[in-house]
Amino acid sequence: MEVINCSLIKEKAYVDKLENGLKIIVIPKKEANKKYIIWGTNFGSNDNRFIYPETGEEVIVPDGVAHFLEHKMFEQPNGTNSLDVLMALGLDANAYTTNDHTAYLFECSEDDTFYKGLDEFMDYVQSPYYTDQNVEKEKGIIGQEIMMYDDDPGFQLYLDTLQCLYEKHPIRIDIAGTIETISGIHPDILYKCYNTFYNPGNMVLVVSGNFEPEEIKREIVSRLKPNKNIGNITRIFEEEPEKIYKDYAEKTMSVSMPIFMVGIKDKVVPPEEKAKRHMAIEIIMGLIAGKSSALYKNLYENQNIFGEIDSEYEFSKNYAHILISGQSNNPQLVKDMLITEFEKIKNEGINKEDFERVKRKIYGDFVTEFNDVASIGRMFLADSIKEVRTFDYVDKYNDVTIEYTTNVLNEVFNKDKVALSVVKGG
């Protein structure tokens, strides 16, 4: 296995790409009390148009297929549910679907329990079982989940923001789809998606804990079923305009106080720059809207905002955006003041002491993630899907200078790339 060292934080990752294309990453943590495994496929809600490798035909699938398929992976021909089996062993097992990947995972403390769980875990992820009957049954279950999110103000705020930023990109679509779109899902569609995207060449398996890298790799390989690497998958996306789709969205829902989200559309940068850009944007957001920033103090003291301002940079291989959210009786004022603050820092320049303070905090937050095997596993999987080297967040730390961060500020934080979404009480 290739050894990737990160000497600054004294961490190592062992990486190997098997003949069938599966990428295995092991991050040993000899002092850890828990063991964590996560197996992900580069298949999320964004992947709704692709070329089916077996026939070369274009396939368009209903919105929500990746999430639906994740739900169905646990059901087995013998009538058992693999999630129940794993939980009965005392494992903390779960699965999730995002815009760009689907993941299956479990965590435990004991060696014996881990390897018993590994048998079931690696069997069900490699054993799809879809019938007309079990697919129809699942539509009712997922339909209830969709209705729950339809009534969730925070989720609707998030979705409305993405629909302001993007005109054509499928990230603007609910990961779970709608009751109407999932009604069109049937076993043939699920098998086509599974056979295309659950190919080992499109998957990454990460383990973290007290493991010997070569030993756990052998255990994993011994449980793999024969499967050839089908190579690169052709995904089809419409070209997304650089400009935002619209600058405002509003909903009336059951909230005691208006909630808002400001979205800023960013461009996609080459893989080698993603971690560096991510750090720069985190620093900018800390300077502009962090709890110690002048803007936050002004908004809070004048009761234009209640609680903290949350900010997040979301990105993957073909999208990137910044989200800033909170509670306010005057969301438009908050948006306007944010834009004013962007321009002020551009004109006056970034204060060196503030820059170094925020930068150190971001570094500390990243290093802290290495104290938890679950955080490590999710981080390495997500970064691998995004084509980011996780250790770049340390190795390129010193490359994130005031000059570089100022360039990112000038490029990204422009009012014509900003949208506001609001959910008000009614």
Give the separation between CA 202 and CA 304, rounded to whole angstroms.
Answer: 47
Q: What is residue 406's three-state secondary structure?
A: helix
Q: Which of 4-8, 49-53, 151-155, 211-215 has the lowest mean pLDDT?
A: 4-8
Q: Is the dihedral of CA 88, 89, 90, 91 positive or negative?
A: negative
Task: Work out whether strand 35-41 and strand 58-60 pair parallel, antiparallel, or are unpaired.
Answer: unpaired
What letter would DSSP give residue 184? T
pLDDT range class, residue 189, cuts 50, 70, 90? very high
Mean pLDDT score, 234-242: 96
Placement of tokens 């939980």 in the chain? 87
Joined together, the tokens standing for residue 87 give 């939980």
CA atoms within 13 A on the CB side of 34: 16
The closest of 137, 249, 227, 238 to 182, measured between CA atoms, is: 137
Half-sphere exposure of 417 (CA within 13 A, CB side): 17
- Residue 8 confidence (pLDDT): 87
Model pLDDT for residues 320-346, shown as the tens digit of each residue: 999 999 999 999 999 999 999 999 999
Give me the pLDDT at residue 280, please: 97
Q: What is the pLDDT of residues 303-315, one digit of tens each?
A: 999 999 999 999 9
Which residue's entry shows tokens 């995207």? 197
**2 catalytic per annotation:** no
Cα separation of 251 and 146, whole Å? Answer: 18
What amino acid occupies position 13? A
Predicted confidence (pLDDT) at residue 118 exceeds the cutoff of 90 = yes
Residues 6+ apart with CB under 8 A from 29: 208, 209, 210, 373, 376
- The mean pLDDT of 191-205, rounded to a whole number, is 97
> CA 115, CA 392: separation in Å to the nearest integer?
32
What domains are there in the chain, each with its CATH number?
A: 2-222 (3.30.830.10), 248-425 (3.30.830.10)
Residue among 235, 208, 207 nearest 220 (CA): 207
Residue 106, classed as helix, strand or coil, is strand
Task: Tell me which residue of 306, 312, 279, 308 sits closest to 291, measured CA to CA.
Answer: 308
Q: Give residue 426's pLDDT.
A: 79
pLDDT of 130:
96
CB contact at 8 A, 117 and 106 = yes
Segment 194-215 shows an average pLDDT of 97
Cα–Cα distance measured from residue 279 to residue 178, given in angstroms and rounded to the nearest whole number: 35
pLDDT in tens, 247-279: 999 999 999 999 999 999 999 999 999 999 999
Distances (CA, A) of 168 to 193, 236, 414, 420: 22, 12, 21, 18
Q: Which of 2, 19, 31, 70 is catalytic?
A: 70
End-to-end CA distance of the chain: 58
For residues 61 and 67, what is the distance between their CA atoms, to the nearest angstrom?
12
Backbone torsions φ then ψ of 245, nearest 5 degrees: -75, -45
Closest alpha carbon to 83 in 57, 37, 47, 120:
120
Which pair of tokens denotes residue 374? 């679950």
Indicate the pLDDT class of residue 7, thresholds 50, 70 and 90. confident
Strands (E), 43-144: 49-51, 58-60, 92-97, 102-108
With CA atoms as reference, report the closest residue to 26 among 376, 388, 262. Answer: 376
Half-sphere exposure of 326 (CA within 13 A, CB side): 25
Q: Helix (H) and strand (E) counts for the chain?
A: 15, 14
H/E element holding 203? strand 203-209
Contact 166, 240 (CB under 8 A): yes
